[in-house]
Amino acid sequence: MKIISINAGSSSLKFSLINMENENVIANGVFERIGIDGKYTIKFNGQKYEKEEQLNNHNDAVNILLKELINLKIVNTLDEIEGVGHRVVQGKDIFDKTVIVDDEVMKKLDSIKHFAPLHNPANMLGIEAFKKALPNVPNTVVFDTAFHQTMNKETYLYAVPYEWYEKYGIRKYGAHGTSHRYITETTAQILNTDKFKLISCHIGNGASITAIKDEKCIDTSMGFTPLAGVMMGTRSGDIDPSLLPPVMENENKNIDEIINDLNKKSGVLGLSGISSDMRDLETAYNEGNERAILTMNKYVRRITDYIAQYYVLLNGADVIAFTAGVGENSPLIRKLVCDNLACLGVKIDEEKNNIRGKQALISTPDSKIKVYVIPTDEELMIARDTLSLIKNA
């Protein structure tokens, strides 16, 4: 069975076509600049096919994708595609698991789209495009927030007027749930048990830390939106909201402009003034750049703070797992974070830690907490959920 995993953005559409018999990726790629001009890249069999073509909307992108899958002989017929799974950022507290798309699901998605205005409407465009192009193929929706719905009320509520929660749904929802669930399931396989305490560190351009006990989320660092939590590539993470009025006044900016600054001009980029790319920051750090050293220390400290907080929350930890772009590919970040955790008995083997993009145990035998690098695979999780729902429909 072949299933397509889809991540649709406002002007992009990423895809992975996966053979679920062996869970191998047959082809993947991205359609970009939708509604502007358009270009796309498709990778398959070690080849990369690129083309510029006008993409007026997501329907164009989907139709061209399906046409190219046949033209490039990636599939012989579209009948080989038996399911389409879609990533949706925000499911609020309405969705706590993956669902098959129907009219009622689309109505509910439309009712909560304002909770993720930059993401959910775009995700919905992808769903509508595939429903139109492949009307007889089941579509599913996998929510970034679903895994975090096991948090208790004490954890997900903010200390603000309770009426804000009742009237407007103001609470912590978290993000990266599909990735954290993948890390959880992989950890269960590694340990051969579903009883464990895990601190999952999804550290990429966006970053979140999640406390997991017996395969359930207990707490997570992102909040009402993905702006909260640890310092990220361009996001500030946690700040004092009282700083907003004086900055707005002095910069002559409205709230939307300031929120944009916190999302896109802050974090590693804002503090360092160098780049949002951790590879650039590491180069400057190793060259002794003062701002880079300051930023790196702050970045590592914020990650350490959350790991330590969740260690106490879980009353200990069996595993700390690093994943996503930085977590999987930066031995330096992993070392600095683990060095900060030495008081908890964390020890890493520097030779084992010198890896990128591979699953590995990097802690020493006498480390009180096992430390793993586990590459994440959100696309595979989407495809697995889709396959399961189709089989049980």
pLDDT in tens, 201-215: 999 988 999 999 999
Q: Tell whether 208 is covered by a domain.
A: yes
The structural domain count of the chain equals 2
The CATH number of residue 234's host domain is: 3.30.420.40
Question: How do beta strands 99-100 and 81-88 pair?
Answer: unpaired
| Residue 196 shares a structural domain with residue 139 | no
Give the model's pLDDT for residue 269.
95
The answer, yes or no, to whether residue 114 has pLDDT greater than 90, is: no
Distance CA 350, CA 318 (A): 20
pLDDT in tens, 229-257: 999 999 999 999 999 999 999 999 999 99
- Of the candidates 46, 43, 41, the one whose C-alpha atom is nearest the C-alpha of residue 61 is 41
Q: Tell whether 350 is covered by a domain.
A: yes
Distance CA 345, CA 369 (A): 7
180: tokens are: 């954290």
The answer, yes or no, to whether residue 278 has pLDDT greater than 80, is: yes
Q: Residue type at 270?
A: G
E strand or H helix that includes residue 62 = helix 58-71
pLDDT in tens, 17-26: 999 999 999 9
Mean of all residue pLDDT scores within the chain: 94
Based on the residue annotation, tell me whether 144 is a catalytic residue of this protein: yes
Strands (DSSP E) found in 153-248: 197-203, 207-213, 216-220
Residue after which a domain boundary falls, among 105, 122, 143 = 143
Query: Is residue 322 within 8 Å of residue 374, measured between CB atoms?
Result: yes
The answer, yes or no, to whether residue 116 has pLDDT greater than 90, is: no
Distance CA 51, CA 72 (A): 13
| Residue 223 shares a structural domain with residue 305 | yes
Structural domain including 133 reads 2-143
Distance CA 30, CA 387 (A): 22
CA 12 to chain centre: 16
Kindly name the residue from 96, 103, 144, 277 that is annotated as catalytic.
144
Query: Is residue 334 within 8 Å of residue 348, measured between CB atoms?
Result: yes
